[in-house]
A = this chain, B = another copy of it.
Amino acid sequence: MKKNETIYERYRQLIASGAIAGGERLPSVREAAAETATSVNTILNAYERLADEGWIRAKERSGYFARARARLENAAPAIPERFVSSARETGERLDMVFERLTRTDSSLAVAAPGTDLFPADRLEQAFGRLRRSWIEYAQAAGDPGFRKRIALASEETDGPTDAEDIVVTNGATEALSVALRTFVRPGDAVVLESPTYFNYFRQLAPFGAEIVEVPVGPDGMDLDMLEREIDSRKIRAIVAQPNVQNPSGVTMSDGAKARLAALAESRNIILIQDDVYGDLAFGPRRARNLSAFSGYSGIVLVSSYSKSIGPGLRIGWIRSPEYAERLAEEKLSASFESCRAAQFALSGFVATAAHRRHLGAMRRELEIRVDDHIALLSDLLPEGSSLRRPSGGCLLWIALPVGTDATAVFERSARKGLIAAPGEIFSSNPFFTNYLRINAGWKLSADRAKALSCLKEAFA
C-alpha cells in the first residue's frame, strides 16, 4: 500500500468507527506529516481523497474536520418497486397532509434555504430604483432584457442559450403547470421519479393523467426500469430533477444524464427537467443540465430563482428552443405576464459577478448547515435510521427504521410546532411511509438545535 493510501485508510476507519467524532478537528497537515513521518504532500493527498469522498471537510483557514456521517449513512434508503397510479386519486389523497404543510410556515417543512441566505438588501435597493420601468405591459414571455440575463446565467452549464427560447413564469410552479398544459392531454401517461416533489401529483390531477413512478437510486432515476417502462407503454412526458433531486438530494452522473436524454429521444417523449435546486449543488462547479449532453429538441427546462434569490419574488422560467412559442401562448392564457417589478429588480443582479459570488457563498454555507444538521440528527434519530448526504440544496431525506409510521411522527411533532414533511406525500404509493424530509437550510443555532431535539420525543 502506498503511504498516502495507508494514511487515508487510517483516518477513514477512525471516522467510520466514531473514534474521531463528527465535527472533530483532524491534525493539521504539518502535524500529521510530522506524526506519520511523511511529507506534507502525502498528507494533503490523503486528506483530499477523504474530502472528495465526504469523510472530512476543509474549512477555510481553520483546517480539516470530520463529517458527522458514520451512523446515518451506513445504510442507503430503500429503492421502491415501480408502480402505476391515477394522478387524480393521488391528488385527493394528499390534500389533507398537504394543506397542513402549506398553512404553516415551519422552517423544517419548507423546501427552501434559510431566508438569511438570500440577497435581500441588494434586491430591495433594486426595487427602490425601478424608475417606472415596471408600469407598462410587456410580452407574455417576459421582459426581453431579463430573458437575456437568464440566458447569460444559463450558459455556464448549458452552453450558448438564446433569450428567445425562454418564457418567464410565476415561479417554477407555473412553469411546470404551463408545460403540462402544453404537452399533456387527458389519459396520457407521465413518468415521475419516486420519491418526488409532492406538488407534481396535485398539478397532474386535473389531467386525469396516469402516473408511472420510477425509483431514484444513488445515481438518480433507475434508467433500466425507465427503459422497461417506455418499452411497455406509450409515455407522453417524463418529469425529472437530475440535479439535487427533491427530496432525495441525489444528482445524476453525467453518463446517466446523457442516457436519460437518449432514452426520451428514442421514443419522442417530452423530457421536463425541473432544475430549481441546480444552482445550489455543492462543489466548485455547478451541476450541468440535460441539454448539455443532448441536442434532443424535446428537452424542456423549468427552473426558478425562488431557491437561490428569494421565494417571494415568484420568478421562474421555462427554456425550450423547440416549443418556446407554444409555451408563451399558454402562459398568456394562464396569467399574461409575470411581475415586471420583480423582473426589473432581478435584471440588475442575475448573471453579474455579484450573483456568482452570492451563489458560491450560499452553496458553501448550505453545505456547512447540512453537515451540522446531519451531525445533530445522528444523535436524535432512532437506531436504524439512515440517509444519504445530499449533493446540494437544503433537504435531508431520512429513512426511519423500517416499520416506523413517519406520518404519526409528523402528527406528534406538529403538535409541538415542528413540522417536517412526511414521506407518504412524495409518492402515489406507500413506499415512503417511514421517511421524513427535513429542511437543513437554516443556521443550526442553539435555539434551533433545541427545537429540533423535540423530534426525539416524537419518536417515543
Which residues does A use to contact B, with CB under 8 Å? Answer: 95, 102-103, 105, 110, 112, 115, 118, 120, 123-125, 127-140, 169-171, 173-174, 177, 181, 199, 202-203, 205-206, 310-315, 329, 332-342, 344-345
Which residues from B are CB-within-8-Å of A123? 341
Instruction: Verify B118–A135 contact, CB threshold 8 A.
Output: yes
Name the residue of chain B whose CB is nearest to the CB of A337.
B314
Instruction: Verify B170–A338 contact, CB threshold 8 A.
Output: yes
Closest CB in chain B relative to A205 CB, distance in Å: 8
Q: List 14 A-B contacts (CB under 8 A).
A: A102-B139, A112-B137, A115-B135, A118-B135, A124-B128, A124-B131, A128-B128, A133-B312, A134-B310, A173-B332, A199-B332, A202-B332, A313-B340, A314-B336
Instruction: Verify B177–A334 contact, CB threshold 8 A.
Output: yes
Instruction: Verify A312–B134 contact, CB threshold 8 A.
Output: yes
Which residues from B are CB-within-8-Å of A129? 124, 128
Majority secondary structure, A binding face: helix
Instruction: Verify B311–A136 contact, CB threshold 8 A.
Output: yes
Instruction: Verify B128–A336 contact, CB threshold 8 A.
Output: no
Instruction: Verify B118–A335 contact, CB threshold 8 A.
Output: no
Name the residue of chain B whose CB is nearest to the CB of A119.
B135
Q: A132 CA to B311 CA in the complex, in Å?
A: 11
Closest CB in chain B relative to A246 CB, distance in Å: 14
Name the residue of chain B whose CB is nearest to the CB of A134.
B312
Q: A234 CA to B105 CA in the complex, in Å?
A: 43
Instruction: Verify B139–A103 contact, CB threshold 8 A.
Output: yes
Which residues from B are CB-within-8-Å of A130? 120, 124, 127
Q: A203 CA to B330 CA in the complex, in Å?
A: 9
Which residues from B are CB-within-8-Å of A181? 206
- Closest 10 A-B residue pairs measured CB to CB? A128-B128, A312-B340, A127-B127, A174-B335, A134-B312, A339-B339, A170-B335, A173-B336, A115-B135, A314-B339
Q: A105 CA to B123 CA in the complex, in Å?
A: 27
Which residues from B are CB-within-8-Å of A340? 311-314
Q: A127 CA to B342 CA in the complex, in Å?
A: 10
Which residues from B are CB-within-8-Å of A137? 105, 110, 112, 311-312
Closest CB in chain B relative to A325 CB, distance in Å: 9
Known: A310-B135, A335-B314. A102 touches B341 (CB 8 A): no
Closest CB in chain B relative to A306 CB, distance in Å: 8
Contact of A313 among B134, B173, B310 (CB under 8 A): B134
Q: A51 CA to B140 CA in the complex, in Å?
A: 41
Most buried by B among A136, A139, A169, A199: A136
Instruction: Verify B332–A335 contact, CB threshold 8 A.
Output: no
Contact of A136 among B115, B132, B138 (CB under 8 A): B115
Which residues from B are CB-within-8-Å of A118? 135
Q: A268 CA to B255 CA in the complex, in Å?
A: 58
Which residues from B are CB-within-8-Å of A128? 124-125, 127-129
Closest CB in chain B relative to A347 CB, distance in Å: 13
Known: A124-B128, A127-B124, A134-B312. A333 touches B177 (CB 8 A): yes
Which residues from B are CB-within-8-Å of A170? 170, 174, 314, 335-336, 338-339
Q: A406 CA to B344 CA in the complex, in Å?
A: 37
Closest CB in chain B relative to A99 CB, distance in Å: 8
Which residues from B are CB-within-8-Å of A133? 312
Give 12 A-B pairs besides A202-B333, A334-B334 with Cβ atoms closer than 8 angstroms: A103-B139, A110-B137, A120-B132, A123-B341, A127-B341, A127-B345, A128-B128, A170-B314, A181-B206, A202-B332, A312-B339, A342-B342
